Structure 1
Amino acid sequence: MDLHFSGRVAIVTGASKGIGLAVTRTLLGEGASVVAVSRKTSPELAELGGDLLHVPVDLMDPEAPGQAVARAVEEFGGLDILVNNAGGPPPGVALPRFSFMAPADEDWRVMFEFNLFAVVRFVRAAIPPMLARGGGSIVNVSSGSARLPAPMNVDYSAAKAALNNVTKALSEEYAPQGIRVNTVSPGPVRTAWWTEEGGAADIIAGQAGADRDSVLDRLAPEMMNLSIPRLVDPQEVADAIALLASPRSAATTGADLAVDAGFLKQV
């Protein structure tokens, strides 16, 4: 299927690894020019070919989104697609937390700064150049946790629920002007959040008296009651994002697409 990305310019945040790397690779492979935004590059990102520009910024800096959008316009002449993928634990934070009482005020602040306010700033910066090109597509990466409140990671879930609300509001306001805005809501994805040293697999292993491989391969899918008994692959999320970003989804806005191995059970 031709996704009609040739000649289009995309920004992908959190592009150096995980879902963001898979999205960047996919869009490049489909012919888009991509501005890859992350604090630092990675060997996997650096080896990608095509029209790729890495912009090293920290999204905890309120000026970073505007700077990245300006670089996209300067380098490639405009902007058509924005994938707000960066999210999850803010820099220096380890998740999961297991209780409402665990995060303090500052923890809540940085969680919303990273998972909501950075997205708001990126969208604010992206809309003018998109309108100048006659429209565009914004895909915000949310989480199934936004629709399944629980004591674990309550601050993260609340930030993603707010992101879903903002996405709906944006879709209402800007659809008549040609900008579609949607969310993709992954379940547990086999990314560095889970697999890196000190990450979620190690934290859960310490709580459960298990080893990290058992958590990744068996305990986490069981604990999260996944219908497909494994963690999601980043490419599976990237494929859904690419379809929503594409003109092939021209009638889709305000939607939330779950790619979660059956994590959400609600109708």
Structure 2
Amino acid sequence: MDLNLSGKTAVVTGASKGIGLAVTRTLLAEGANVVAVSRKTTARLDELAGQNLLHFAADLMDPQAPGEAVARAVEVYGGVDVLVNNAGGPPPGVELPRGSFMDATDEDWRLMFEFNLFSAVRAIRAVIPVMLSGGGGSIVNVSSGNAHLPSPINVDYGAAKAGMNNLTKVLSEEYAPQGIRVNTVSPGPVRTEWWTDEGGVADKIAAQAGADRDSVMNAVVPELMKLSTGRMADPQEVADAVVLLASPRSASTTGAEFAVDSGFRKEI
């Protein structure tokens, strides 16, 4: 299916690995120009190098960085049609999961919201005038199932993502009549580096459970999190939903939340 993204320009945050890398790869395959935003590049992002890909090195904890990324996209490609706010998770200096609500200080909360919510707010604030001048566009915010399922081990993260879901609804109401669609994709546990890297979440759970990393991801986590599919999601599966929402083929979809979570959320 042609997603009608050829020649469009997208800004993707957190693009160097995991879900963001998969989104970048998919957009490029659909013929889009991509400004891939991350603190540094990676070998796998470098493999995608070409005239349709620009890496913009930025620390999204810097309040100026989101706007600078959007401005660079306009400078190089002439506009922005798609914004994917994918950057998220623990910011530099913060570790998850926690043991309790009491383990998060005021500074931990501030850093978590800066990275997971305020960076998206700033990127959206910068891109809306650009999209309006270009006749519209699509914004996709990558949230989390934890926005709905409160967890004391990720309390500040879940609160920030709940704020992102609320933001999506507000923006979709205000800007849909002006041609800008805003939607959310909410993953559950995904096999990203946050889980799989040495010392990552899988290793931490393995140490507690007396298991190895592969057993944790293949069996312990699916059982512990009651995943209906019996497995964690692949980043590409999340990327597919993101790119479909970014596409003009989803022209009547706005204010929606798509769960790509292996059946993590059970509520109606």
Name the TM-score, length of structure 1 as normaliser: 0.98
Q: Secondary structure at the match of 1:153?
A: helix
1:111-190 correspondence to structure 2 within 5 Å: 111-190=112-191
| Pair 1:14 & 2:20 matched | no
**Cα separation, 2, equivalents of 1:184 and 1:52:** 23
Q: Secondary structure at the match of 1:5?
A: coil
C-alpha contact (below 8 Å) 1:94/1:199 kept by paired residues: no
C-alpha contact (below 8 Å) 2:96/2:153 kept by paired residues: no
Q: Single out whichever of 235-244 and 198-207 deviates more from structure 2.
A: 198-207
- Per-residue deviation, 1:55: 0.2
Q: Secondary structure at the match of 2:141?
A: strand
Name the residue aligned to 2:266: 265
Q: Secondary structure at the match of 1:152?
A: helix
Gaps of 5+ in 1: none
List per-residue Cα deviations over 1:98-127 (Å, max 9, x = no partner). Answer: 311111111111001100000000000010
Name the residue aligned to 1:41: 41
| Pair 1:56 & 2:73 matched | no
- Per-residue deviation, 1:49: 4.2
Name the residue aligned to 2:235: 234
Name the residue aligned to 1:30: 30
**Cα separation, 1, equivalents of 2:169 and 2:200:** 31
Moved over 3 A (4+): none
**Cα separation, 1, equivalents of 2:33 and 2:11:** 9
Name the residue aligned to 1:92: 93
Name the TM-score, length of structure 2 as normaliser: 0.98
Q: Single out whichever of 170-179 and 203-212 deviates more from structure 2.
A: 203-212
Name the residue aligned to 2:212: 211
List per-residue Cα deviations over 1:43-76 (Å, max 9, x = no partner). Answer: 1111114400000000000000011001000000
**Cα separation, 2, equivalents of 1:56 and 1:124:** 20
Name the residue aligned to 1:246: 247
**Cα separation, 2, equivalents of 1:204 and 1:96:** 10
| Pair 1:69 & 2:63 matched | no
**Cα separation, 2, equivalents of 1:93 and 1:18:** 19
List per-residue Cα deviations over 1:225-266 (Å, max 9, x = no partner). Answer: 100111100000000000000000000000000000000000
C-alpha contact (below 8 Å) 2:14/2:88 kept by paired residues: yes
List per-residue Cα deviations over 1:134-181 (Å, max 9, x = no partner). Answer: 000000000011011121201100100011001100000000000000
**Cα separation, 2, equivalents of 1:49 and 1:247:** 25
C-alpha contact (below 8 Å) 1:94/1:200 kept by paired residues: no
Q: Single out whichever of 254-263 and 88-97 deviates more from structure 2.
A: 88-97
One-letter amino acid matched to 1:6: S
Q: Single out whichever of 42-51 and 30-39 deviates more from structure 2.
A: 42-51
Identity %: 74
C-alpha contact (below 8 Å) 2:117/2:164 kept by paired residues: yes
**How many positions carry a matched residue from both structures?**
267
CA RMSD of aligned residues (A): 0.8
Gaps of 5+ in 2: none
One-letter amino acid matched to 1:15: A
One-letter amino acid matched to 2:185: V
**Cα separation, 2, equivalents of 1:229 and 1:98:** 26
